[in-house]
Structure 1
Amino acid sequence: MWPLLLLVAFLLSPRARAGQIIGGREARPHSRPYMAYIQIRSPVGIKVCGGFLVREDFVMTAAHCLGSQINVILGAHNIRTLESTQQRIPVLRSIPHPGYSQQNKRNDIMLLQGDSGGPLVCSNVAQGVVSYGDRMGTPPAVFTRISSFLPWIRRTMRRFQEWRPE
């Protein structure tokens, strides 16, 4: 994992700002349908996170993206314009890892159950969830390793698989 993070660190531009593409290029519109844009309403205001669809009714993101009201937007290429492909889904249940620590960002992973916070993808497989880093996109960025949480992810998704609101 460290060699990959070092490679990413060298590719990132120190002058990049939020909302810019860092060390890459714009994806072909709608070529990443699993990507989610997450809007979080909390007592201090609105913040946004990235996430990705892991099943038709679960999104994975970072636990620090928890808030009182969360909406997931799927099918967006440009979030600043209303596209006919966009789906806005209110989150029914946020499930942060039980060992999440806000102080040191340990276990910074969360599942969001919807009615129907960005991944690190290597060889078309999600390997990590962005945990924290510099707001300007400069290295080092820290990722929570998904594979370390697979037992919890599977247990949690099984437990809530049959639950549906009335």
Structure 2
Amino acid sequence: MTMRRAMTAAAALAMLGSVVAAGSATAEDFTQFYPAGTACDFPIRIDGGGGHRTEHTITNKHGTVFMSTGTGSELTFTNEDSGATVWLRSKGAVVRTTTLADGSDLFVLNGHNVVILFPSDVPAGPSTTLYSGKVTFTVNPQDGQWTILDTNGLSRDLCAELSG
């Protein structure tokens, strides 16, 4: 499940850029590949770069909360079969993560975030969606399954754009 966990973590942070050290940092360029049937019905590549983010760890009487804020990364999504591309400008995003009592992680995304759902997720993918607003979901630590609890705001189906 290491690959699944790495891919899900990367997807959650896609609009924020690649993982960087704690504190304030500039995100490094990155490329992610998703085979057909995982993020879209066709294989996609995501290239990202730029952006700036700050990470915070807050511990209170209810536990530890991790928060990442920043301007995001410019992203280019490519349909590896057709060559079609979608470019997304760098925009602001906040990711807040809390570990729940059952061991699952609760993610609350605000701003502009790309969410990639696999066939094993709830609702089942493959799907790659840009949300402008708020998305709340949990991740099961045993199998990496994402369960979307709520979305609020605008959504943009990137698979549909890449297929046309």
* TM tier, smaller: 0.3 to 0.5
Q: When you count strand as a share of all residues, which structure comes out higher?
A: 2
TM-score, normalised via structure 2 length: 0.33
Q: When you count helix as a share of all residues, which structure comes out higher?
A: 1
Larger radius of gyration: 1
1 or 2 for the larger relative contact order (CA 8 Å, sep ≥6)? 1
